[in-house]
Chain A
Amino acid sequence: MGDIKGFMKYKRDLPTTEDPKARVHHFNEFYKPLPIAHKEEQAARCMDCGVPFCHSGCPLGNVIPDFNEAVYKGKWKEAYEILIQTNNFPEFTGRICPAPCESACVLGINDNPVSIEYIEKSIIERAYKEGWVRPNEVDQKTDKKVAVIGSGPAGLACADQLSKAGHTVTVYEREDRIGGLLRYGIPDFKLEKSSIDRRLEIMKAAGIKFMTNTDVGVDISVDYLQSEYDAIVLCGGSTIARDMSLENRDTKGVHLAMEYLTQNNKRVAGDQFSAEETISVKDQDVVVIGGGDTGSDCIGTSNRLGARSITQLEIMPTPGIERTDKDPWPNWPMTLRTSSSHAEGCQREWSVMTKRFVKDDSGNLSGLEVAKVKWAADENGKYGMQEIEGSMEVIPCQKAFLAIGFVHAQKEGLLAQLGVDYDHRGNVLATDYKTSVEGVFTAGDMRRGQSLVVWAISEGREAAVAVDTELSGQTVLESKDGSVLKM
């Protein structure tokens, strides 16, 4: 390991950001990178633990102590090689991952954890800069062809891995651009789309084919797919958003978060929208329902688009600042998180339940009727909420975004035509990534239900192992668990 006393010498540090007041005028990323020596110092804080909980906490199984050490020693290329063994797209996770690794970092027990995510991002950016990121080279292609449906992080990771194993891979995407939620779910200020394009170039150069605007089951038939490919991997995501069946849900001005974010991402990418289509928040009062990351993205986007006020509602009570016994280290802590979008300005309300949407005479949204709730355990110890009587009020607003998650994959179309089975939550049922239909695999949110990008990548990689094993009888791809020397 590098500096055994690094953690005693250096404090955790992250890059500084552009002033929130300034950055809301554009959609670009706003971090000012640290000097290299500073990054290497940050890596020196890694203690190379005997039991590296970060490595266990990372859904990809990133070998964090190893790349930290390499960075500390200034061996950036080595760090890059270690990193890409477990992670196909560090440029994504390095930007938008909530970093469960850092929650699990041993240093985090009584100090600030190692800035793992930032080190990860630094490694991959350095790698791009130095030209180390090269298309996979395969000595000998197999004669197998695989179709990956969906080009989100799961689909991309799966395609990348299968291509590495020598298979011919085609990725189908029904949208006009590749990337899934990375492309249209996450705003540019968190992930500039050039990062995706840069990666796609590499993947294309490795021979992966991308078919956009192709909705399998609509634009091409399922039969064609099954006859053409040796395997199909479904990575279509969990696209059915959770909705609220409340009074006046159909009011103009109430939108699903994803409608709003997609439109804006497209606009940033240069697409035009008519005034009719445009979901405008300029000089309006915006309410975001849902306290998660998507909600945050709506806030950041609304600030950039000139909203007058933004209020975020969350039905759960305010989380604590510190971990409690319910979410002890090294688990993910349910503590109060303030995202960069929050820092740009918004009102956050907790323990608030939306009762109904209020519309004005012209049928436009004019407010939200909400009530305060109280959370408590009943006599069986079951945690539940109760509305506080007389707490009803109306929050005036002209736009409301529902950012309360996703239910499951879209069943009609492709899935229905394939005839796959579902689990009790409505996700595609799979054993070791194999669906109930011969030759059809699945990965990502479609299988797992809504989750993190890092999980999607992991799913894609693991599914690739399953596919390769099926196609080749064995696999050269590495799985995140289980040793290569296991017998």
Chain B
Amino acid sequence: MTNNTTEPQQRGLYTPQLEKDSCGVGMIANLNGGTSYYVIDSALTILENMEHRGACGCEENTGDGAGILMQVPHGFMKAKALESGVQLPKRGKYGIGMFFFPKDKELKQYCYDVIQKYCKNNDFKIILERSVPVDNSMIGNMAKDSEPDMAQLFFKSSGFNNKDIERRFYFLRTQILKEIYFSGKGLTDDFYIASLSSKTIVYKGMLMATQLRSYFLDLQDDEIHSAIAIVHSRFSTNTIPKWKLAQPFRCIAHNGEINTIQGNLNWWNAREKNMELVSKDRPDLTSTFPVCDPFQSDSGNFDNVVDFLLKASRSIPHTIMMMIPEAWQNNEYIEDYKKAFYEYHDGVLEAWDGPASICFTDGTVLGATLDRNGLRPSRYLLTDDNFLILGSEAGCLEIDPSKIIKKGRLQPGKMLVADLDENRIISDEELKERICKRKPYREWLDKMSIKVEDLPVKPVVKESKLPIHTRQIAYGMTLEDEQLILDAMMQTTKEPIGSMGSDIPLAVLSKISQHIANYFKQQFAQVTNPPIDSLRESFYMSLSTVISNSSRIIGINEEEARVIRTDHPILNQTYYSNILGNELDEFEAREISTTYNKDTSIEAAIDSICDTALDAIEDDVRIICLSDSDMDKNKINVPSLLITGALHHLLISKGLRKEVTIVVRAGDLWETHHMATLLSFGVDYIYPYLALETTRKLAKSKGILPSDGEEKYIKAVKKGLLKIMSKLGVSTLGSYKGAQTFEALGISTEVINKCFKGTISRIEGLTFDQLSRENKAKHDLAFAKEYEKLPDIGNYQWKRKGEYHLFNPQTIHLLQHSTKTNDYATYQKFAEAIDKLEHNSSTLRSYFKIKNGESSIPISEVESETVIMKRFATGAMSLGSISHEAHSTLAKAMNRIGGKSNSGEGGEDEKRFAKNEDGSWERSAIKQVASGRFGVTINYLTNAIELQIKMAQGAKPGEGGQLPGHKVNDYIGKIRHSTPGVGLISPPPHHDIYSIEDLAQLIFDLKNANRKARISVKLVSKAGVGVIASGVTKAHADHILISGYDGGTGASPLSSVRHAGLPWELGLSETHQTLVKNGLRDRVVLQTDGQIRTGRDMAIATMLGAEEWGIATAALVVEGCILMRKCHLNTCPVGIATQDENLRKKFDGKVENVVNYFQFLAKHLREIMASVGVRSVNELVGRTDLLEIENENRHWKTTNVDFTPLLFQEENKLNETLYQSKMQDHGLDKVLDHKLIKYSTLAMKQQKTYDGVMSIKSTDRAVGAMLSNEIAKVYGSVGMLPDSLTYRFRGSAGQSFGAFAARGIFFRLEGEANDYFGKGLSGAKLAVSPDRDTSYDAASNIIIGNVALYGATSGEAYINGRAGDRFCVRNSGAKTVVEGIGDNGCEYMTGGLVVILGEVGKNFAAGMSGGIAFVYQDTPRTLNETVNHEMVMIDRPTVKDLDTIQTMIRSHTNYTGSRKGFTILNNWDEEKHHFQRVISAEYKRILEAKEKSFVLQQKAS
């Protein structure tokens, strides 16, 4: 499909295909079917109450999009038609199309002509054209500029029966769109059909939630009636105007993101091609192809596919179940009919994976579902008059509490469906049972599907006779690969961990022959969707995969169950033989050699191999095994990634890909990253024979059984694959496969187009010829002589005969020496060693030249070093990863020069908040808020001038972290609010940020917690980071840090250090360009970091858009770090990255030296500024015109690299400053806390008590944060006396109720609360109970949302009702009672007490290393099933525990009036036996040891 789009052309680095959005959704329905204006009015109110979930662009009054989907309001339309003299047919006998037309008259006429043409073809007649009455006075100029002409066209059918009318409309619509979009007239944005149906209609536009009602006059008319309405408000990361991207679409409204979109589109296209070929019987359907339209967003295409499948005779719930299956693979407790349904469909359609809350309707049935991980919130309620109201937030519509009979929430993978014909909600169980039992899926599977191990074994595999060393070298394996990577995987079943960042050249800039996979950087989830914890949430993950040979999707037949099934895609020799030698006709396999004569070209080789494969397919071969095992002295292997990518895309284009399975048997695969690239570029199975052979050899040499070694290695690969998928937020291999989730860095367009079509590649790079040359170098070396050892390239350890490292003996020495002696001349030598291309060509910036200043100025005219130094920050390194000495020395140095040091993720000792007697100050100006929330209390937040939300870390974006127990000494334990000796886990995602509007909420929370602090968001460079940064700016961040992939780390998997993320040059430049394009640049400060070493680095960073710089590794080197790269082992010999007492004594870093370094840097920058005639850093920002590209002294590998996109300057349309000059409007003036503070000022001042009453709404967010900030300012971490300030609220509290609430506060809420209840609770007491007027049973209804008490450090919470998912995640000290919780409760908990009086969801206590949960079990579901047993055990509470439980329940009933609590207390002697204790084994051991020593002490005294 050619993309003749009018989308913003790619100039520079901004990539339009990476635009993201996220949102708020809601729906309302009268299940009795009665239509009314109330439904419309309420839906609009819901939308308006979720305005904060949407965003506006650079203009206050330009929204990202809002809309409403409803039933065709027949009565209203009938009246309107009559006004024009037209008598409409009966309801359902006509359809209305909501058309967006271009403003241009000629083009509009053209569109009309096309519409007319297809009307005729499809036997439709336009009976009325009604221009949609709008009032655009309130919308912003940007929206106005692209506002379409909207018209409703009324179609009447002549001929076929009504049953088919929806399908006919579908054909009509798709045919019109296809012709117009592919006409080349540039109408892909301006022409659009929002809906065309006899049942539903959509009103939408690039509006803010609050503008929807006033823009569409129809929506204000109380004659417009419907029984159903779905509303949506969009938070887009961009502001490029697009009316059509507003939601709802025709069938769905989607809150979330599809991570696997590229793969889904590829597979879908392959399928379409095939259907065109074979499904001659359904020309009606094939005429609508392409179903997925290249001009749509991921959500838009999702809708297209839903629509198609609906028309291809599936019901809407069935369709949604296929596309977003629940987590079934690892679920032992799922019903078999359901499992069979999913298993069957797994072979039919790949899941569309990503966080999603989807509302859908076909006009009669409406429903909503959540993705398998449940990453979006959805709350609903049912009234006694049968109204169903659902929204992203509870309380979005005010309902008389006495009318409510049920309050619930959507659960992960579950569906809520209401049928207006049946006038009721159909439960997930009932619905799915109905759908799953419609066909005998299990029977079909039993009959048709085969497991790979059951295939007959035939020894057909021929092995190479060459010595192993020759082959290893020919395929590029190095000593480190063998000894460091494979050996570790073979022995530990894990990928090896390393520390410090990658300081070797990018693959494309390296002069050492590279593995092809090194040119591909892993994508990862950041802000717009969350990464997953593949270890603790393995329940949701799956590597299982199938060999199928069909792309039929239209029918539901037995044949589709014909698959070969395997648990994972890595084959050993036996399984490979099974597949290759299988005797099934429909799975005939053939091995095809992928080697070529060393004198011919690689490109010709690829073509010829592909031809051979096509011939085989022609012969009905269905499994193509690409094998390079015949490589020898004259035959070189085509890198497996190249050949499989090429074949994959060729088969897609020929419509054959779904028919054929691609298996790779290759020697050039050993790192997990290698396998991940293959899978992501379309391979089905991998037989990494050389890696397996190597692991067997290694095992043997270590006295391990070779087969055990091999098995452990495969296990490590599986874990690694899950990790790579999970960091992107993808759960299943089915969706990962072919999703092309990598960015190419240094690959030319010719190679991309042939092998990796659609993959992002922005700087060009190696051509086929150059790749051949590189490939040949390894081969030549292998056959030059016989080897006893593999070559050592020194990728991970500096080696004299190896890869270049930025930090090498020379540069480390010069840097340390210059700063120790305060000698600028030595610094200059250091800078020269780093800066000069002839010494160092390892970074993108190496190839930039700062233009020789014709306009140079005297250095005295440049702003002073003192001013410049304020722009410095040191990197986020936690106390824990580095020693107190190293940490505080940096802080003192930064405070001395007016820069900022960063606390890192580990809290900070309060002693450091005040200045020392000698005037030095150890306080970190930047306090980091990372996913673990260690030590994040209100006092911590209060004592900062910048609060940095770490979304990702350069060295391991998309991953969490772990601090081993041995590093958690008493001191670290105290600061992190955890138990000494117990290991700590930082989750991969922030559990309160699954999307952009969540981030906006956290920014809002933090801003409330400290109004003076600027809020920073740390992002890691990747393709699309500019778009994300633009969203983050719209989420009101004051500051954005773009980190390079090469930043340091205390511990990361080596593969992540090298292969995930991009250099900052790309990310920063893209961000600056995108912000300028969107008119947002002046609202935010941009900072960058990642291997920045010299003033030249800073100058280039500034010219690419940064106005501040972060320096970490180099500052550590100044402190004495010698790049030991053993930080993770606690053995740092210079006392930096260690907590060992004796080693810490060896720390010899000096504040002065660090200060000297920053002075040198500032001086160096000033010299450059003077040479180019720029007086201030602000003036230098974005001045890429001062840079030129080094074209002469290039290594042959870089001749085709195009650096110019980095230097592109976006047009500054709004003439804003290119640096931050405007403050964000955080909207703090409307916050409820102002009232709370006002009322209690006196009490707070005089340490007295206050008790007040007030109402609360869902738009009152982060209540308590600002008040707590005031308390912390006065009382520090101690807070006030318990219950000093009591507030009694009634209503629905907005998100983050009680966030960071300080000791002394007591919030009593009557009503309900939304997500993030008690986030970061810092000593306050919270109690919530249902409204006094409700009559439902509190214990069985939901009362607070997801992610309650996340990162709470102390305090109490009493919840009379159920909580959502992820209750008490990372709790480290709060005590709470709740009456039931959703999935993933108490995850990563390290402290506190949790009493649960009802059901707990799946995966309870995963990664819980401390604290105790007591669960009251009166339900049949046993705790054993729901607990994640990795770290915890289930036992009985001790006598002392029972006392604690009883006391806590007593408080609970006192504060909330819990009926359940009363019942339990009343029958305590009986009920106490129903409690079970969930505790980590490690923590139990420590508690018992403590108990013992206490008893001993007692005895002794």
* A and B held together in a complex: yes
Chain A residues proximal to chain B, CB less than 8 Å: 4-5, 7-8, 47-53, 55-57, 61, 63, 65, 81, 85, 104, 106-107, 109-111, 325, 328-331, 474, 476, 478-487
Q: Are B793 and A483 in contact (CB under 8 A)?
A: yes
CB neighbours of A482 from chain B (8 A): 801
- In the assembled complex, the Cα of A483 lies from the Cα of B797 at a distance in Å of 14
**A8 partner, pick from B500, B1124, B1143, beta carbons under 8 A:** B1143
Q: Are B777 and A487 in contact (CB under 8 A)?
A: yes
CB neighbours of B1165 from chain A (8 A): none
Are A110 and B1148 also in contact (CB < 8 A) when A51-B798, A104-B809 are? Answer: yes
Are A325 and B777 also in contact (CB < 8 A) when A4-B1129, A49-B1124, A330-B809 are? Answer: no
Q: B765 near A: Cβ within 8 Å?
A: no
Q: B544 near A: Cβ within 8 Å?
A: no
Q: B513 near A: Cβ within 8 Å?
A: yes
Within residues 759 to 806 of chain B, which ones have a CB less than 8 A from any CB in chain A? 773-774, 777-778, 781, 784-785, 788-789, 791-794, 796-803, 805
Q: Are A5 and B1131 in contact (CB under 8 A)?
A: yes
**A476 partner, pick from B785, B803, B809, beta carbons under 8 A:** B785
Q: Are B1126 and A47 in contact (CB under 8 A)?
A: yes
Q: Are B820 and A56 in contact (CB under 8 A)?
A: no
**B512 partner, pick from A49, A331, A483, beta carbons under 8 A:** A483
CB neighbours of B1197 from chain A (8 A): 487
Q: Are B781 and A55 in contact (CB under 8 A)?
A: no
| 5 A-B contacts (beta carbon < 8 Å) | A51-B809, A51-B812, A53-B809, A487-B513, A487-B773
Interface centre among A49, A325, A328, A482 (most CB of B within 10 A): A49
Q: B313 near A: Cβ within 8 Å?
A: no
* 11 extra interface residue pairs, beta carbon distance < 8 Å, beyond A52-B799, A55-B798, A56-B810: A47-B1126, A52-B798, A56-B800, A57-B809, A111-B1133, A325-B817, A478-B801, A484-B801, A485-B781, A487-B513, A487-B1196
**B1133 partner, pick from A57, A107, A484, beta carbons under 8 A:** A107
CB neighbours of A49 from chain B (8 A): 797, 1122-1125
**B500 partner, pick from A50, A61, A481, A485, beta carbons under 8 A:** A50
Q: B492 near A: Cβ within 8 Å?
A: no
Q: Are A484 and B798 in contact (CB under 8 A)?
A: no
Q: Are A81 and B788 in contact (CB under 8 A)?
A: yes
CB neighbours of A4 from chain B (8 A): 1126, 1129, 1131
Min CB distance, A56 to chain B, in Å? 4
- In the assembled complex, the Cα of A104 lies from the Cα of B797 at a distance in Å of 16
Q: Are B800 and A51 in contact (CB under 8 A)?
A: no
Chain B residues proximal to chain A, CB less than 8 Å: 500, 511-513, 773-774, 777-778, 781, 784-785, 788-789, 791-794, 796-803, 805, 807-810, 812-813, 816-817, 820-821, 1120, 1122-1126, 1129, 1131, 1133-1134, 1140, 1142-1143, 1146, 1148, 1196-1197
Return the 4 tightest CB-CB contacts between A and B, nearest first: A50-B1125, A56-B809, A51-B798, A61-B800
- In the assembled complex, the Cα of A483 lies from the Cα of B1131 at a distance in Å of 30
Are A483 and B773 also in contact (CB < 8 A) when A8-B1142, A47-B1126, A49-B1124 are? Answer: no
- In the assembled complex, the Cα of A52 lies from the Cα of B513 at a distance in Å of 23
Q: Are B1124 and A47 in contact (CB under 8 A)?
A: yes
**A485 partner, pick from B793, B796, B797, B805, beta carbons under 8 A:** B793
Q: Are A106 and B512 in contact (CB under 8 A)?
A: no
Who on chain A is nearest to B781 by CB? Answer: A484
Q: Are B512 and A51 in contact (CB under 8 A)?
A: no
Who on chain A is nearest to B791 by CB? Answer: A484
Are A109 and B1134 also in contact (CB < 8 A) when A51-B805, A61-B801, A483-B512 are? Answer: yes
Q: Are A483 and B802 in contact (CB under 8 A)?
A: yes
Q: Are A50 and B789 in contact (CB under 8 A)?
A: no
Min CB distance, B420 to chain A, in Å? 67
Min CB distance, A51 to chain B, in Å? 4
CB neighbours of B788 from chain A (8 A): 81
Are A485 and B512 also in contact (CB < 8 A) when A53-B809, A61-B801 are? Answer: yes
Q: Are A485 and B777 in contact (CB under 8 A)?
A: yes
Q: Are A52 and B1133 in contact (CB under 8 A)?
A: no
Are A485 and B513 also in contact (CB < 8 A) when A61-B800, A325-B820 are? Answer: yes
Min CB distance, B768 to chain A, in Å? 16
Are A52 and B797 also in contact (CB < 8 A) when A5-B1131, A8-B1131 are? Answer: yes
Q: Are B1133 and A487 in contact (CB under 8 A)?
A: no
CB neighbours of B512 from chain A (8 A): 483, 485-487
- In the assembled complex, the Cα of A52 lies from the Cα of B799 at a distance in Å of 8
- In the assembled complex, the Cα of A329 lies from the Cα of B812 at a distance in Å of 11
Min CB distance, A5 to chain B, in Å? 6
Who on chain A is nearest to B498 by CB? Answer: A50
Q: Are B1133 and A328 in contact (CB under 8 A)?
A: no
Q: Are A81 and B789 in contact (CB under 8 A)?
A: yes
- In the assembled complex, the Cα of A82 lies from the Cα of B810 at a distance in Å of 24
Min CB distance, B821 to chain A, in Å? 5
CB neighbours of A47 from chain B (8 A): 1124, 1126, 1131, 1133
Min CB distance, A166 to chain B, in Å? 11
- In the assembled complex, the Cα of A111 lies from the Cα of B781 at a distance in Å of 41
CB neighbours of B799 from chain A (8 A): 52, 55, 63
CB neighbours of B816 from chain A (8 A): 328
Q: Are A109 and B1133 in contact (CB under 8 A)?
A: yes
Q: Are B821 and A485 in contact (CB under 8 A)?
A: no
Who on chain B is nearest to A62 by CB? Answer: B800
Min CB distance, A48 to chain B, in Å? 8
- In the assembled complex, the Cα of A61 lies from the Cα of B785 at a distance in Å of 22
Min CB distance, A224 to chain B, in Å? 34
- In the assembled complex, the Cα of A56 lies from the Cα of B794 at a distance in Å of 13
Min CB distance, A371 to chain B, in Å? 34
Are A328 and B813 also in contact (CB < 8 A) when A8-B1143, A486-B512 are? Answer: yes
- In the assembled complex, the Cα of A145 lies from the Cα of B1057 at a distance in Å of 50
CB neighbours of A480 from chain B (8 A): 800-801
Q: Are A106 and B807 in contact (CB under 8 A)?
A: no
Are A487 and B511 also in contact (CB < 8 A) when A5-B1131, A55-B800, A328-B817 are? Answer: yes
CB neighbours of B774 from chain A (8 A): 487
Min CB distance, A7 to chain B, in Å? 6
Interface centre among A4, A51, A481, A487 (most CB of B within 10 A): A51
Min CB distance, A274 to chain B, in Å? 51
CB neighbours of A479 from chain B (8 A): 801
Who on chain A is nearest to B1135 by CB? Answer: A110
Q: Are B1146 and A110 in contact (CB under 8 A)?
A: yes
CB neighbours of A50 from chain B (8 A): 500, 796-798, 1122-1126
Min CB distance, A45 to chain B, in Å? 10
- In the assembled complex, the Cα of A4 lies from the Cα of B1130 at a distance in Å of 9
Who on chain B is nearest to A478 by CB? Answer: B801
Who on chain B is nearest to A482 by CB? Answer: B801
CB neighbours of B1133 from chain A (8 A): 7, 47, 106-107, 109-111
Q: Are B821 and A51 in contact (CB under 8 A)?
A: no
- In the assembled complex, the Cα of A24 lies from the Cα of B270 at a distance in Å of 89
**A110 partner, pick from B798, B812, B1134, beta carbons under 8 A:** B1134
Who on chain A is nearest to B1142 by CB? Answer: A8
Q: Are A51 and B807 in contact (CB under 8 A)?
A: yes
Interface centre among A8, A48, A487 (most CB of B within 10 A): A487
- In the assembled complex, the Cα of A325 lies from the Cα of B823 at a distance in Å of 11
Min CB distance, B225 to chain A, in Å? 72
CB neighbours of A484 from chain B (8 A): 781, 791, 801
Min CB distance, A165 to chain B, in Å? 10
CB neighbours of A104 from chain B (8 A): 809
- In the assembled complex, the Cα of A124 lies from the Cα of B1431 at a distance in Å of 50
Are A51 and B1122 also in contact (CB < 8 A) when A56-B800, A328-B820 are? Answer: yes
- In the assembled complex, the Cα of A478 lies from the Cα of B805 at a distance in Å of 20
- In the assembled complex, the Cα of A272 lies from the Cα of B777 at a distance in Å of 59
CB neighbours of A476 from chain B (8 A): 784-785
- In the assembled complex, the Cα of A474 lies from the Cα of B783 at a distance in Å of 14
Min CB distance, A85 to chain B, in Å? 8
Who on chain B is nearest to A69 by CB? Answer: B483
CB neighbours of B797 from chain A (8 A): 48-52, 65
CB neighbours of B1143 from chain A (8 A): 8
CB neighbours of B1146 from chain A (8 A): 110-111
